[in-house]
Amino acid sequence: MSSPSNTVATDPLDVPREEMPRHIAVIMDGNGRWAEQQGLPRIEGHRHGVASVRRTTEECARLGIEQLTLYCLSSENWKRPPAELEFLMHLLEQYMIEERTTIMHQNIQVAVIGRREGIPDEVLRELDKTVEMSAGNTGLRLCLAINYGGRSELADAVRSIAREVHSGTIRPDDVTEQTIESHLYTAGMPEPDLLIRTAGELRISNFLLWQISYAEIWVTELCWPEFDEAQLYAAIRDYAARDRRFGGLTE
């Protein structure tokens, strides 16, 4: 067993700090399915999902995780019923307002990735206020993927690079993987080490397509409103036990 000095303090995981994931990304699936199983309207699943967001964020902050990225709203989710989308926007606005005190108290830095088009002005206003207010915090970075799509992100990056090539800022032959990374929404952020998906689905769903090239994937059958600290611990323990070779061989 690792000595206490090498292990996260008061951590029931007992996972050495060097074996912890630096960045955890989560596809929060199953809110509506959970509500239907409980005989509740779908929107109640989203409301209960907010409690899981709170639990997971606070525990990741306590564990010393550097970044937590949550897939809040995909670019494809606009196909959902207008009433459900309106409720989701209301929940997001409410979360930004109600959680500011906790965010500041826990030294959490909030970031947002995705396209701003289509998001109501009042929601953008509260998002921007929280991002600005928490910009100087040095603890967990909570990155919210809102109106996000991995293909859209890559298209936006290519478009930006093409403009620079056209202006002569860079030459086509000088475009590298690092060039692309620096033009993504996530520029400057570490790539996810661990990707968690709830509700048993075995799909990436257009999430962080470039960034998860070597992420370890962990899936639970539980829906997002059921996700708690025990599930987070199980995912981290499983991650810590894996042999990450990144295409190479273990010595």
Catalytic residues: 29, 77
* Residue 67, CA distances (Å) to 41, 62, 192 in order: 32, 12, 8
> What b/e sequence results for 117-150 when a residue is b if at least 16 CB atoms lie within 10 Å of its CB, and e otherwise?
eebeeebeebbeebeeebeebebbbbbbbbbbbb
Taking a C-beta distance cutoff of 8 angstroms, is the pair 75, 115 a contact?
Answer: yes
Ramachandran region of residue 93, left (φ > 0), alpha (ψ -120 to 50) or beta?
Answer: alpha
Q: What tokens were used for 190?
A: 């570490």
- Cα gap 16→200, rounded to integer Å: 28
Strand order of the β-sheet with 109-113 is 109-113, 141-148, 67-74, 23-27, 194-197, 216-219
* Residue 29, CA distances (Å) to 150, 177, 220 in order: 17, 30, 10
29 φ/ψ angles, rounded to the nearest 5 degrees? -110, 150
Q: What tokens were used for 26?
A: 């989560």
Please count the helices (runs of H) and the strands (runs of E) in the chain.
8, 6
Angle between helices 121-133 and 82-98 (to 10 degrees): 30
